């Protein structure tokens, strides 16, 4: 597998009055060209911080405390802002959660697209116009809307316009932070389908963050599950979805049973993630885990390789395997439909 993005031992801390708080803790991941990687976890697990750290968009009080982010063979962590500027947008672009915050409310789309292109050295007005129309139509918005202001578009159209902007330079990697979460279920589904279609058509890789594991499971090649700043499970979507190897992944799947099913509360996992400044000494999920045993409270689990899937759970340690009382139910009945 060739690698487009390789994140090694990446850690990020927020400086607080009570000292630094680690929000991303030694994360490793690699993305191949054209691959769709889904990153899931509840709110507060460090997903946005991880994406910002990868895109080199962290601002104080956050800072990268260790590790590397090698994109197209270059470590972006040690690159100067000046050296980074051409890479961002051209090779790697970011779509944020809320287009309303990312788009300028008092500028027409045409002006915002032109600003982005001019900032990256495109001066020719006709070329800017042509490319702006192209990307807008790529995401299914009529070119006439280049003259529109953000508030004249629906929520779904604004998110599409953001994605159009991210595609101005046909990047190799598009990083998306919950781009559909402000939309209703129908608009969410249709935007996901469109993102997948564009990805297949244009061939870019996607790093897609969401708290809804079922939503992304229909589109991702691999899934990474984060809990309290750490990777707790990582593997092919099919395997993670059919046989979650970590009790937290199992709980997330139970929380969002199916894209067609009804939403339930997080039935499998009552409670909330721990505060990052007061982490449990053993497994971070232990206080909420339905299948924990005594050692879980004191032993920090490493990532175990379970048939090619990584899982941070002591149940996979041969020393404790007697505790495994088949806690996980198979989800083979649910289909992960792929387009
Ligand atoms: N400005 C901040 N100052 C201090 N801590 C922060 C700040 N922003 C986020 N954090 C910490 O980082 C954790 C992860 O946040 P975030 O990356 O936004 O999670 P997610 O995107 O998964 O919801 C939070 O739980 C919080 O402890
Ligand atoms: Mg977030």
Ligand 1: nearest atom to the Cα of 177: 21
| The predicted structure's pLDDT at residue 266 | 56
Asked whether 185 and 156 are in contact (CB, 8 A), the reply is no
Ligand 1: nearest atom to the Cα of 15: 4
| The predicted structure's pLDDT at residue 88 | 86
CA proximity to 228, closest of 194, 272, 189: 272
Ranges assigned E (strand) in the chain = 5-16, 19-31, 36-40, 62-71, 74-75, 92-95, 173-177, 205-210, 222-227, 230-236, 304-306, 309-311
Peptide bond preceding 61 in cis form (omega within 30 of 0):
yes
321 lines ligand 1 (CB under 6 A): no
Residue nearest to atom 25 of ligand 1 (CA): 44
| The predicted structure's pLDDT at residue 234 | 98
46 lines ligand 1 (CB under 6 A): yes
| The predicted structure's pLDDT at residue 102 | 81
| The predicted structure's pLDDT at residue 321 | 81
Residue 336 CA, ligand 1 centroid: distance in Å: 31
Ligand 1: nearest atom to the Cα of 211: 22
Angle (nearest 5°) at CA 189 between 143 and 178 = 85
| The predicted structure's pLDDT at residue 267 | 61
Give me the average pLDDT of each 10-residue run along the chain (339 residues).
Answer: 93 96 98 98 95 95 97 94 88 85 90 95 96 95 96 92 95 95 87 94 97 92 98 97 95 68 59 93 96 96 97 96 61 46
Ordered DSSP codes for 98-141: -HHHHS-TTS-HHHHHHHHHHHTT---HHHHHHHHHHHHHHTT-
| The predicted structure's pLDDT at residue 57 | 92
C-alpha R_g of the chain: 21
pLDDT digits (tens, 9 = 90+) for 297-307: 999 999 999 99
44 lines ligand 1 (CB under 6 A): yes
16 lines ligand 1 (CB under 6 A): yes
| The predicted structure's pLDDT at residue 260 | 44
């Amino acid at each position: 597998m060739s690698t487009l993005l390789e994140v090694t031992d990446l850690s990020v801390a927020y400086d607080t009055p009570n000292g630094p708080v680690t929000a991303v803790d030694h994360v490793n991941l690699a993305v191949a060209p054209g691959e769709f990687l889904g990153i899931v976890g509840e709110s507060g697990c460090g997903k946005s911080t991880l994406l910002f750290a990868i895109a080199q968009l962290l601002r104080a009080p956050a800072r990268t405390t260790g590790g590397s982010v090698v994109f197209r063979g270059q470590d972006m962590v040690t690159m100067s802002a000046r050296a980074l500027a051409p890479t961002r947008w051209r090779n790697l672009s970011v779509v944020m959660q809320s287009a309303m915050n990312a788009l300028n409310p008092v500028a027409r789309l045409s002006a915002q697209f032109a600003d982005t292109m001019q900032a990256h050295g495109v001066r020719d007005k006709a070329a800017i116009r042509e490319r702006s129309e192209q990307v807008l139509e790529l995401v299914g918005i009529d070119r006439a809307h280049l003259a529109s202001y953000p508030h004249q578009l629906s929520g779904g159209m604004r998110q599409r316009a953001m994605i159009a902007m991210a595609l101005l330079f046909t990047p190799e990697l598009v990083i998306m932070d919950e781009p559909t979460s402000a939309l209703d279920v129908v608009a969410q589904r249709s935007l996901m389908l469109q993102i997948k279609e564009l990805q297949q058509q244009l061939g870019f890789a996607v790093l897609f963050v969401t708290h809804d594991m079922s939503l992304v499971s229909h589109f991702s090649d691999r899934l990474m599950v984060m809990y309290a700043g750490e990777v707790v499970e990582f593997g092919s979507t099919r395997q993670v979805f059919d046989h979650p190897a970590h009790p937290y992944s199992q709980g997330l799947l139970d929380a969002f049973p199916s894209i067609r099913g009804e939403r339930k509360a997080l039935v499998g996992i009552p409670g909330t993630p721990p505060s990052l400044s007061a982490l449990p000494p053993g497994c971070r999920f232990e206080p909420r885990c339905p299948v924990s045993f005594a050692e879980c409270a004191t032993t920090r689990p490493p990532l175990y390789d379970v048939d090619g899937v990584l899982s941070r759970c002591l149940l996979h340690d041969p020393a404790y395997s007697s505790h495994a009382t088949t806690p996980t139910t198979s989800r083979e009945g649910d289909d992960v439909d792929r387009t």
